[in-house]
Chains A and B, each alone.
Chain A
Amino acid sequence: MNNYKHDTRSRSRRQYMVAIDGALALNAILVIVQMWLLTASLEAYLSGHKDSALPGAVFSGLLFAGTMGLYIFVRRLERQAKDKGF
């Protein structure tokens, strides 16, 4: 009985960790894309192509919203894990 309880707790904890790791990996990808976007926008600005500044800022804002959402998701998961005593 005790073993079963331990297994269930362990599996739940693993599920939380998988979810958090997934969010972290996605967050890292979004930040890398955003880094590329900033570099491309700066390069375009310096070479005089000013039309790309607005779409660059809009996409960068969307990516930031994505990373913020993932951060809130991770915090919520962590709070749930703490509440359940993992």
Chain B
Amino acid sequence: MKQAHQSESEPLWKDEFSIESAHETIVNRRQFTKFLTLTSLGMFVGNLWILSKTWFDKQSLFPKTVIAKADEVPIGAVKLFRYPTEADPCIMVRTSQDQFVAYSQKCTHLSCPVHYSQKTGQIECPCHEGSFSLHTGEVLKGPPPRPLPRIVLEKKDGLLLAIGIDIQNE
């Protein structure tokens, strides 16, 4: 009882840094447990951040942006554009008379700009020889860990519009 009273009246530094060797091991373990708990709190905050980002992304709507006139791009040709902001380069390829595909131009490996190869019929990354399917954006070879984000297109009054981004095409 006397000891409990003493520990209450002791300054905080004595409580945190015990000067008695018998207490030292316990205090060290307590400090380590405190460190682990704070680490756990940090990771919990990280998970909450991911959750808030997810909700924020769901709420934000992508703008409708005119990319080009449909007739402007010949079959097999490429049109580069930026969507949804000026900092997001994208690539569109006309694969047939009525079919257009568009993807983010940033490689999912190290963000090198990808290009369409008519020779192989694939979207290729020149940096580390990664390649993606022209029709789905899936990784065909190389180090990219994820498919290319797909730009959702809409054809209206002869115009091609970008209306959203679909990154769930794994």
A78 to chain B: closest CB distance in Å?
A: 5
A24 to chain B: closest CB distance in Å?
A: 6
| Partner-contacting stretch, out of B35-43, B66-74, B115-123, B124-132 | B35-43
Chain A: which residue is nearest B6 at the CB level? A82
Which size bracket describes the interface of A in this complex? 35 or more
Total A-B pairs, Cβ < 8 A = 117
Residue pair A64, B32 in contact (C-beta under 8 Å): no
Bound together, the chains give a CA A75 to CA B29 distance in angstroms of 10
Q: A47-B146, A63-B40 are in contact. Are A56 and B51 (CB under 8 A)?
A: yes
Q: Which residues of A contact B58 (CB under 8 A)?
A: 50
Bound together, the chains give a CA A56 to CA B26 distance in angstroms of 33
B61 within 8 A of A: no
B141 within 8 A of A: no
Residue pair A71, B4 in contact (C-beta under 8 Å): no
Residue pair A41, B25 in contact (C-beta under 8 Å): no
A28-51: CB near B (< 8 Å → 1, else 0) gives 101100110110011001111110
B134-154: CB near A (< 8 Å → 1, else 0) gives 000000000001100100000
Bound together, the chains give a CA A39 to CA B57 distance in angstroms of 20
Q: A16-B26, A41-B47, A48-B168 are in contact. Are A82 and B4 (CB under 8 A)?
A: yes
B22 within 8 A of A: yes
B111 within 8 A of A: no
Q: Which residues of A contact B146 (CB under 8 A)?
A: 46-48
A31 to chain B: closest CB distance in Å?
A: 5
| Best-surrounded residue of A21, A57, A86 (most CB of chain B within 10 A) | A57
Residue pair A42, B26 in contact (C-beta under 8 Å): no
Residue pair A64, B44 in contact (C-beta under 8 Å): yes
Supply 5 further A-B pairs (C-beta < 8 A) apart from A16-B26, A57-B51, A61-B44. Answer: A23-B33, A41-B47, A48-B149, A81-B26, A82-B23
Q: Which 8 A-B pairs have the closest CB atoms?
A: A48-B167, A60-B47, A67-B40, A48-B168, A64-B44, A53-B54, A57-B51, A71-B37
Q: Which positions in A face B, CB cutoff 8 Å?
A: 16-17, 20-21, 23-24, 27-28, 30-31, 34-35, 37-38, 41-42, 45-50, 53-54, 56-57, 60-61, 63-64, 67-68, 70-71, 74-75, 78-79, 81-86
Q: List 14 A-B contacts (CB under 8 A).
A: A23-B33, A24-B29, A27-B37, A31-B43, A38-B43, A38-B47, A46-B146, A54-B54, A57-B47, A60-B43, A75-B30, A78-B27, A83-B1, A83-B3
